Structure 1
Amino acid sequence: MSIKMTESGPGTRDAPVRPRRRPSRRRVIGGGAVLAVVAAAVAAVAMAGSSDDDGGGTEAVPGGTSLVAVQQGPLSSQVGQGGTLSYAGGPGGAPYPVVNQAKGTYTRVPAAGAQIDCGETLYKVDQKPVILICGSTPAYRGLAVGDEGKDVRALNRTLVDEGYAGGSGLDRGSGHFGWATAAALEKLQDGRGADVTGRLDLGQAVFLPGPLRIGKVTAGNGTGAARGRPIMEASSNRREVVVQLDPSQQSEVRKGDSAQITLPDNRTTPGVVSRVGTVAASSGKDDSDAEPATLPVYITLKHPKDAGTLDQAPVQVQITTDGVENALSVPVTALVGRAGGGYAVEVAAVDGGPTRFVPVTLGLFDHANGRVQVSGALTAGDRVVVPAT
């Protein structure tokens, strides 16, 4: 069943040749021509083993080829990539700097790995607590009755969410510092052992998106506290996987796509794409040693407890980018190019007679299993020729 190449002429049929150019497709696969996709799929199959042990069956035949059944059923398109499991940080994944605004001596700083909730003591200066208020606007002023702004809104939200507002009717979405804010703040200050004043002086709190997980700590107990100096780094306590994707695949992966994450101990846990970066970046000091530009993709774990305490851990990720409920599919290695353009598959006769070449239109690629959706004069169960493995 070896494939012979002939020239087209009057009364002759286009004979198949190996693929030379990208076929027309209903869906463009990012990253280049179909030949590159075929090569990647072949490599994936070679690493994972044959994908036809699921009942399709592979029948060895003479001439260095095999017969594989055309399958019908669900088909998914996936992007496989290594990633890093860690705790989510700020924009671009960078940690949040914790900037001190109090004067005195550090008398208690948290250890790396500690988790601090909104409204809790982050550290102490002269034995007075510096409280974490969860908000994105950094502390830059003292707050008192009559003040307005985003920082006041973050204070009100923290007071309500942490149960200090009681029945005061304080609106967690309000940006106004009223008497209800002052009363709730007094309860927080009393509970944390701070001076009960009903106002928030600069240096008595740190405003950061939270809750936090403490990373690197640069200040030590007994050292001097100076205003405006970073004393530690922190991230959120949310678990996140970051995948560095080839920019050409940006159109494939979208927010909301499902993902399967394989942890270092080979357990799997589900996730979902939470955001896709828009700016590609490369590493390296100069053009000679710079790595190819990549685009960050951020994946949130659906079951964060599955990750335990792993941090900066390498993981493998399969992102499902598309799917078809009922598709005819063949191994990617079954595709051969046609002299007039497009692709075909070589189909074996049921009675053992000569094979025939059936033109096919390509649809969805299943990269993980090395299969491709096809449409043409085929039915499920037809046997197509593939190179022997």
Structure 2
Amino acid sequence: MTLQQAPETVRVTAAVEERMVTPSLSVQGVVSGAPTREVRFEGSAGGAKQIVTSVAVAQDASIAFGDLLATVSGVPVFLLPEGVPLYRDLRHGDSGPDVSAFQSLLTRLGYLRGSATGTVDARTLTATGLWYKAYGQKLPESEGKPYVAVDHFAAATGEGTVRLGPTVGQRLEPGKPLFVLSAGQQAVTARFTVPEADAVKVGTAVTVRASGGASFAGTIASIGPFQSNEASKEQRAGHDVRVELSLQDAAAPKEASTVSVTVGGQGRRGPAVPLSAIRQGSQGTYVTRELEGENSSGTPPTRDVTVAVLAQEGGWASIETNPELPPGAKVIVG
């Protein structure tokens, strides 16, 4: 009878080295659009056609509360915060919370001095007239008396840049926004492995390259918590890193397109270990060091040592100096 001996597991080690490691890596990511806000315009309740007669803001232009957006059927349309509950025309002597909110807006825009009284008075109408005049418009009048027309305002939850706007001659459709605003920056989400995520930080500059060869500057905006790949073996485990693009123009990469995120930097000389020695566990990122001597099984004992990865290149990871990992110390790889 022949005894079959179990295959012996061979421990593979490598030495900690002093070497130059340049932090350069490239990770695949997916483009997502900037968050958006809709500018809602109800228009006249009289049933007249709502035709855009002029557009005051261009594509990609910034829009702030109080700005003139367009003229619709010959009347101006200004941007109003949704927090201003303007639901009626305001005439001299009218009072209510809508008047107080409108007066507070006039103060915020710099046209009205003093506190909100909640009652439309001469100074409220004068301030509104100055607002209109700043944009080459006139406050509407009824029987020779100026008033605030509710149909001259569109509302949005916040400010932003024009992502989609109307064209001159366009007929507005009920329920459709007058403008769509970008409320932030276009971004890319990329899954970084644990060593890759350890080598970067929020604020790190990156380069995003599209499939056509165009490149865009970006900045790491956030690094998410560790995600396993149990749900999808096609997705590697690691941290979802959000990169905000610096440019917002027609040449920006398309939403849902695949791009590469490249992180580069200056070389750093210091202790380094092979990337295959880097491990992740409940204690964080670590390497397993082989110690001198022998244990009961006849092999050298080991100890896990927590490390901070600073950079990686060519299969090597630069780590922070650690007295437990001097040059020449052996770490387990593979």
Give the TM bin, normalised by the shorter chain.
Answer: 0.5 to 0.7
Give the equivalent residue in structure 2 for 1:82. 29
Structure-to-structure mapping, 1:1-389, within 5 angstroms: 5=8, 16=11, 69-70=17-18, 82-84=29-31, 86-90=33-37, 96-102=38-44, 103-108=48-53, 110=55, 113=59, 115=61, 117-118=63-64, 119-133=66-80, 135-137=81-83, 141-142=87-88, 144=90, 146-149=95-98, 152=102, 155-156=105-106, 159-160=109-110, 165=111, 168-170=112-114, 176=118, 179=121, 180-190=123-133, 191-196=135-140, 199-208=147-156, 209-215=158-164, 217=166, 221=169, 223=171, 225=172, 228-236=174-182, 238-243=184-189, 257-264=202-209, 265-266=214-215, 268-273=217-222, 300=244, 304=246, 306=247, 308-313=249-254, 315-317=259-261, 329-334=272-277, 344-345=288-289, 359-365=303-309, 369=313, 371=317, 373=319, 377-380=324-327
**In 2, distance between residues paired with 1:244 and 1:154?**
43
**In 2, distance between residues paired with 1:189 and 1:268?**
40
C-alpha change, 1:79 and 1:336, in structure 2 (3 Å) is closer
Letter in 1 for 2:109: L
C-alpha change, 1:260 and 1:358, in structure 2 (3 Å) is same
3-state SS in 2 of match to 1:262: strand
Q: Is the 8 A contact 1:71 1:381 kept in 2?
A: no
Q: Is the 8 A contact 1:139 1:206 kept in 2?
A: no
**In 2, distance between residues paired with 1:148 and 1:307?**
38
**In 1, distance between residues paired with 2:177 and 2:85?**
15
3-state SS in 2 of match to 1:169: coil
Q: Is the 8 A contact 1:68 1:386 kept in 2?
A: no
Shift of 1:236: 3.1
C-alpha change, 1:364 and 1:202, in structure 2 (3 Å) is same
* Long gaps (5+) in structure 1: 7-14, 18-64, 91-95, 281-290, 320-324, 348-354
Q: Is the 8 A contact 2:107 2:114 kept in 1?
A: no
**In 2, distance between residues paired with 1:112 and 1:184?**
27
Length-normalised TM-score, structure 2: 0.56
3-state SS in 2 of match to 1:183: helix
Length-normalised TM-score, structure 1: 0.50
* Long gaps (5+) in structure 2: 1-6, 228-234, 281-285, 292-298
**In 1, distance between residues paired with 2:310 and 2:149?**
59
C-alpha change, 1:359 and 1:158, in structure 2 (3 Å) is same
Letter in 2 for 1:183: T
C-alpha change, 1:343 and 1:240, in structure 2 (3 Å) is closer
**In 1, distance between residues paired with 2:102 and 2:330?**
70
**In 2, distance between residues paired with 1:138 and 1:297?**
37
* Paired residue total: 273
RMSD: 5.4
